[in-house]
Amino acid sequence: MSSAPSRVRLADVARQAGVSEATVSRVLNDRPGVSAETRTSVLRALDLLGHERPERRRRSAGMIGLITPELNNPIFPLFAQVIGAELAQRGYTPVLCTQTYGGVTEDEYVEQLLECGVSGIIFVSGRHADTAATPQRYQRLVERRLPIVFINGYMPGVSASFFSCDDTVAGQIAVSHLVSLGHRRIGLISGPERYVPVQRKLTGYRAAMQEHGLEPEVFLCFFGVEGGHVAASHLLDRGVTAIVCGSDLMALGAIRAIRERGLRIPHDVSVVGYDDSALIPFTDPPLSTLRQPVMAMATAAVRALMDEIAGHQAPHGEYLFRPELVVRSTTGTAPDPTQEAERSFHGRPPVVAYGRDL
């Protein structure tokens, strides 16, 4: 659409957006005096009417690096989308750096972003979540006065702001939900224990199991669908009737393992995932899961980064966001104890992950 469309088209857009033609004209010509909410309404009206949005005349305020893990897990593209939109609204250009196995490392991406002169970096589920990593790589950035913030994970010794979903609470909520349905044999599967979110889920899960007088059944494997399949198979050998998963992808692997044994979900085994990205409600059956508050976490992280860039130091430390239990069709009442006994294994070996009894 040109910056001076016909009066009829101005009227159409104004009617669709519920504003005056003068307001539409100010938006199209990028003039001041229009609130962000009204500007968004006009731009949406243009989209609905099939018109191109006007080109932004404003220069970019700078580039922000956004480093994420691989995008196979839908939760990471969701974080990237929300963070990118928040940065764009503030005039910044996000530079997405996605890590893949055997590809460019986080440290290499950081060096490339520094060479590009970025104004700051946002790390999502990066090395800061790995207790085997050292904080020096991040503290060096702080000493260079480069604004940085972190999402999901915490690393002591780094003077920055961290924004995480409360994984300890997530473990507790999942167990409490399953106990309320009558389950007594509740297992947990997740990724390697060296990761902070995994450690916290374990803490919450074990505390909740102890509170209800139940024995923990844990198997730690690698993240992803295949890892969930392997881990769930071991717990099914242990006779569990419910499985708490460290991610939705692991939950999908667990569902596959359950079905391979001819068991029904949730009649024989209940499953709880973690993340709740956009496609999870459409799984078969729709997955009960713990939803990460992605919008709130991403917005808070961007605001903290903007404060740092503006020279107003944001409070350092970790901010925890409460997950939300979303009950769908993969959790149900525990099976009859007589049926459970029939499919339980007697004299079972201890559950071992990475060569260790858990």
pLDDT digits (tens, 9 = 90+) for 198-234: 999 999 999 999 999 999 999 999 999 999 999 999 9
* Domains of the chain, first to last: 7-48 (1.10.260.40), 62-166+293-320 (3.40.50.2300), 167-291+324-357 (3.40.50.2300)
The pLDDT of residue 342: 54
Contact criterion met (CB below 8 Å) for 293 and 234? no
Q: What's the whole-number average pLDDT of the chain?
A: 90
The pLDDT of residue 44: 87
- pLDDT tens sequence across 139-196: 999 999 999 999 999 999 999 999 999 999 999 999 999 999 999 999 999 999 999 9
Model's pTM, two decimal places? 0.81
Q: How is residue 65 written in tokens?
A: 């690096």
Dist CA 296 CA 298 (whole Å): 6
Position 352 pLDDT exceeds 60: no
The pLDDT of residue 88: 92
Position 293 pLDDT exceeds 50: yes
- pLDDT tens sequence across 113-144: 999 999 999 999 999 999 999 999 999 999 99
138 burial via Cβ count (<10 Å: 0-12, 13-18, 19+): buried
Mean pLDDT of 259-266: 97
pLDDT above 90 covers a percentage of the chain that reads 74
More confident residue, 68 or 351: 68
Contact criterion met (CB below 8 Å) for 172 and 205? yes
Position 48 pLDDT exceeds 50: yes
Confidence of residue 6 (pLDDT cuts 50, 70, 90): very low
The pLDDT of residue 74: 95
Place of tokens 């659409």: 1
Confidence of residue 343 (pLDDT cuts 50, 70, 90): low
Mean pLDDT of 6-28: 82
